[in-house]
């Protein structure tokens, strides 16, 4: 009978459950969509019971697809941040408020002005944002005091799923890293609850359990709902950002990983928290002796989606990529800043006024040049993140939609002077946490050795000696140009506000 591991990845819009061999080979997987609710503009919520029901369904379907296999253990990863609250009976107090929710923005602004945000940064190694649990809890305390009064435990998404599997109320270091963990002591900070005015906050934080430790076993009810055997061990797990990195092959200090999707998420693993924080980002604790410094830029694939739709709407993707490849390095002196999101940029600098722009446009530039500038701009934004992470990222495991572009992978290699390795597979978060489950259950002796031995790569791009010095200089121009634009971006927004007020113009910022 084959021994297998189950990994659950509860993302923002999809829940994926996959079964893996002890060597990390995917056997089968199941996916369910999870609906988002937007009761008001800027609010994003999710039904906690719906999330559990769909998770249980994916587990059952995955288990049913296995032929004569023994499930050794189950691991759970999922979206981080946000706020998932239950009462003393284990029932949801309200719908979960997600990491992408913006209702608590004013608290973050106020805390930046009065020094609270900087103190949180010093303790946790991470910068606050509106979707973090602390400002959300403060918003609830001020606007829904009955919710806080009824809340017994504050969770994140995967903690809620683990609770439904085991009945145990726990949180791991990675989930707690923002905003509750003292990053140096790997314990809950006693000071952070005092920085906010949330009654009973300290008592809401559940037991801290390292990611590879078994928190409990499946209850009889959970076994009936999932189809897994009762008493199946469940490990504490990690949030999706770092679980996916492990699934991609990053597992030890010095390893780096990037996900090029809607956002560009870049991280390097460290043996200890950074002595000095640079840029606007997050420090996530995995275990004692392993941390990740993360920069989550908004400069992802939507830039290319926009360029293809507007510049080459009738072209196949392959033709557009060939056209961009035909243009010279630096796109004939055309620079592109990929701050296309209407929320601006968040890493490595935080500026809600930042916007995308071409710099240096002349009549000599055509569609080929514009396309290449967009490709290069996203690559330069990734380099900007790694420059602020301040780690020697000489090999980066690359995943996400952008990793399917040969041109982009080569430009990432050239712009960062790093080897870009694209791992085989898809469900990296589920794979990462499944391997953690194997360690926790004693079926895998050494996580690092197993990850190293079992991760294979579809492609590897090496930096080109002729291109690296070109992009070294072009990056300096890229950075100096956007730094010079910071005041102008704000001036532009203020001008638009005045024009809208005075002329009743209506358009998107």
Which two tokens mark 188? 């809950």
Specify which residues 482 forms β-bridges with.
none
pLDDT at 504: 76
Q: Is the dihedral of CA 233, 236, 241, 243 positive or negative?
A: negative
How does pLDDT run across 250-291, given as a tens digit for each residue? 999 999 999 999 889 999 999 999 989 999 999 999 999 999
Site of tokens 């509106």:
130
Instruction: Show the beta-strand stretches assigned E in 231-362.
Output: 233-235, 256-260, 264-270, 282-287, 290-297, 335-337, 357-359
> For the chain, what percent of residues have pLDDT higher than 70?
99
Residue among 49, 75, 30, 13 at smallest CA distance from 432: 75
Classify strands 395-399 and 419-423 as parallel, antiparallel or unpaired.
parallel
Q: Is 245 left (phi over 0), alpha (psi -120 to 50) or beta?
A: alpha
Q: Is the dihedral of CA 471, 403, 272, 278 positive or negative?
A: positive
Provide CB contacts within 8 A for 71, sequence distance 6+.
4, 5, 6, 19, 63, 228, 229, 232
Q: Is 33 exposed, middle or buried (0-12, 13-18, 19+ CB in 10 A)?
A: exposed
Helix (H/G/I), strand (E/B), else coil: 90: coil
Specify the CATH number of the domain 249-509.
3.30.420.40
How does pLDDT run across 100-122, given as a tens digit for each residue? 999 999 999 999 999 999 999 99
Site of tokens 């998932």:
84
Query: 330: which DSSP letter?
Result: G
The answer to whether 321 and 367 have CB atoms below 8 angstroms apart is no
How does pLDDT run across 58-71, given as a tens digit for each residue? 999 999 999 889 99
What are the domain boundaries of the chain? 2-237, 249-509
Which two tokens mark 177? 């890293």
Residue among 433, 463, 439, 492 at smallest CA distance from 6: 433
Residue among 168, 170, 169, 166 at smallest CA distance from 220: 166
pLDDT at 509: 56
How does pLDDT run across 369-414, given as a tens digit for each residue? 999 999 999 999 999 999 999 888 999 999 999 999 999 999 999 9
Q: Is 125 left (phi over 0), alpha (psi -120 to 50) or beta?
A: left
Class of domain 2-237: alpha beta
The answer to whether 126 and 239 have CB atoms below 8 angstroms apart is no
pLDDT at 316: 96
Q: Which residue has the higher pLDDT, 390 or 57?
A: 57
User: Can you say how many angstroms the Cα of residue 366 is from the centroid of all Cα atoms in its chain?
Assistant: 35
Which two tokens mark 342? 């209407």
Domains 2-237 and 249-509 share a fold: yes
pLDDT at 1: 76
pLDDT at 485 over 70: yes
pLDDT at 390: 81
Computed over its alpha carbons, how large is the radius of gyration of the chain?
Answer: 23
pLDDT at 244 over 60: yes
Q: Is 361 exposed, middle or buried (0-12, 13-18, 19+ CB in 10 A)?
A: middle
Going by pLDDT thresholds of 50, 70 and 90, the confidence category of residue 248 is very high
Helix (H/G/I), strand (E/B), else coil: 261: coil
């Amino acid at each position: 009978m084959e021994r297998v591991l189950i990994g659950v990845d509860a993302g923002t819009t999809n829940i994926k459950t996959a079964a893996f061999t002890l060597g990390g080979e995917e056997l089968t997987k199941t996916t369910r969509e999870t609906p988002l609710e937007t009761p008001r503009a800027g609010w994003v919520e999710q039904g906690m019971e719906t999330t559990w029901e769909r998770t249980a369904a994916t587990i059952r379907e995955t288990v049913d697809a296995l032929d004569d296999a023994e499930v050794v253990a189950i691991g759970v990863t999922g979206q981080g941040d946000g706020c998932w609250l239950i009462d003393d009976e284990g029932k949801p107090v309200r719908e979960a408020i997600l990491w992408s929710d913006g209702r608590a923005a004013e608290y973050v602004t106020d805390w930046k002005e009065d020094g609270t945000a900087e103190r949180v940064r010093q303790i946790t190694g991470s910068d606050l944002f509106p979707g973090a649990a602390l400002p959300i809890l403060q918003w609830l305390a001020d606007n829904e005091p009955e919710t806080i009064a009824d809340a017994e435990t504050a969770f994140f998404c995967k903690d809620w799923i683990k609770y439904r599997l085991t009945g145990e109320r726990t949180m791991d270091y990675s989930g707690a890293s923002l905003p509750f963990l003292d990053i140096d002591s790997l314990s809950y900070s006693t000071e952070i609850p005092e920085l906010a005015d949330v009654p009973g906050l300290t008592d809401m934080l559940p037991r801290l359990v390292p990611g590879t430790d078994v928190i409990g076993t499946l209850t009889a009810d959970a076994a009936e709902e999932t189809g897994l055997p009762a008493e199946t061990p469940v490990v504490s797990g990690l949030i999706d950002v770092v679980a996916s990195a492990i699934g991609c092959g990053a597992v030890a200090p010095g390893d780096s990983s990037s996900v090029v999707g809607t956002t560009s998420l870049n991280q390097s693993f460290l043996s200890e928290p950074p002595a000095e924080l640079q840029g606007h980002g997050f420090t996530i604790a995995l275990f004692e002796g392993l941390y990740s410094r993360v920069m989550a830029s908004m400069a992802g694939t939507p830039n290319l989606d926009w360029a293809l739709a507007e510049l080459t709407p009738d072209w196949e993707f392959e033709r557009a990529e060939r056209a961009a490849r035909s243009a010279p390095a630096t796109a004939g002196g055309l620079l592109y800043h990929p701050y296309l999101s209407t929320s601006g940029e968040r890493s490595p600098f935080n500026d809600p006024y930042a916007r995308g722009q071409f710099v240096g446009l002349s009549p000599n530039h055509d569609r080929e040049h514009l396309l290449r500038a967009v490709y290069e701009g996203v690559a330069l934004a990734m380099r900007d993140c790694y420059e602020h992470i301040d780690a020697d990222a000489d090999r980066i495991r690359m995943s996400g939609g952008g990793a399917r572009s040969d041109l982009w992978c080569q430009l990432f290699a050239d712009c960062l002077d790093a080897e870009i390795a694209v791992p085989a597979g898809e469900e990296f978060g589920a794979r990462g946490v499944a391997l953690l489950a194997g360690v926790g259950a004693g079926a895998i002796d050494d996580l690092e050795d197993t990850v190293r031995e079992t991760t294979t790569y579809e492609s590897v791009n090496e930096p080109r000696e002729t291109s690296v010095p070109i992009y070294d200089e072009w990056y300096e121009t890229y950075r100096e140009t956007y730094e010079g634009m910071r005041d102008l971006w704000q001036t532009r927004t203020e001008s638009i506000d005045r024009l809208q007020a005075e002329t009743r113009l209506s358009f998107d910022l």
